Every structure is written in structure tokens, then in C-alpha cells.
Amino acid sequence: MAIKANDVVALTYRLHTVENGEKVFVEETTAEQPLDFLYGVGMMLPKFEENIADLNIGDKISFELAPDDAYGQKDERAFAQLPVDMFKETGLPPVGEVLPLQDNQGNQFRAVVAEVTPEIVVADLNHPMAGKTLNFDIEILTVRPATEEELSHGHSHGVDGTQGH
């Protein structure tokens, strides 16, 4: 069964970034813990879905996504200077730590500590994969039509459609 819109797809992947022509391992899924998602509803990167369109169970594919087709270029303006007073109770975070933040509208997001000075903590608000070329090795494990409940919820309920939330 070839992948099409409103199918639930389960796949394994190995993700590398490509830095200075070299592949750097990021993460992978397994057949026991695959990535499953509702195809064609905007849950995945558009170019990711484009690359797996019309594949069938058992198909394998490798492809790269340039930054503009993935998480975009790193925006040098997307840094926030947080006063050290914010960290009175928890202590100053080290460079590289991921901070859970919230904006004035209550939206939650994460930032990575880029710099710490006696006065400020500089937080990088870019997506962690911004500016990176992504290399995927994928194997399609299952493809099935989404259930009515999955379609109404807008997401997969697991490989077999029975997972709750």
C-alpha cells in the first residue's frame, strides 16, 4: 500500500546532520519504537513527507534536507537576554542547557543557553536543528488508513490505531 494523504505511517529512521561534509549522528528510532504519524496533515516537515510519498511497506530511502527545507537558517536575531534574577531559585544554568520558557500569551517553548555573564543569560530561541542539513535513512514499516477518530483528532493513535492519549 503506497503512502498517501490521511494514512498512518510507521517508520524507522537514522538522523544525522551534515557538518563540514561529515555526518554527525543525532538520533534513531527502532522497529520496536518507530516514529508513527498521520501523513499529509502538516505534522512533519513538508519536504520530509515529499521524499516518502508513494513509498510502500519495506521500502528504504535516504535523503538530505537543506536547512531551508527543514528548520530554516539560524536567525541571529532570535536570542533573548534574560536577567540573572530569573535564576535566583534554581541557580545559573550552564551553557548548552535547555530552558523551558513561556511567552506573555502563555505559549511554552524551549531555548538553549548560549552564554552566561554576571548580568544576563543569553538564550538561543532558534530551533536546535536550524541552519543544519539533515540526512535521513528511512525504512517504511507499516502504512494503513487512519481511523475516523485519528482523522478527527488530527494525529495518529499509534502503529495499530489503539493508543489513547
Q: Which residue has the higher pLDDT, 163 or 78?
A: 78
What's the pLDDT tens digit per position in 103-154? 889 888 899 999 999 999 999 999 989 999 999 999 999 999 999 999 999 8
Res. 161: pLDDT tops 70: no
End-to-end Cα distance, the chain: 27
What's the pLDDT tens digit per position in 74-106? 999 999 999 999 999 999 999 999 999 888 898
Q: Which residue has the higher pLDDT, 160 or 100?
A: 100
Q: What is the pLDDT of residue 147?
A: 92
Contact 132, 71 (CB under 8 A): yes
pLDDT classification of 164: cutoffs 50, 70, 90? low
CA angle 98, 130, 118 (to 5 degrees): 40
pLDDT classification of 165: cutoffs 50, 70, 90? low
143 strand-pairing partners: 9
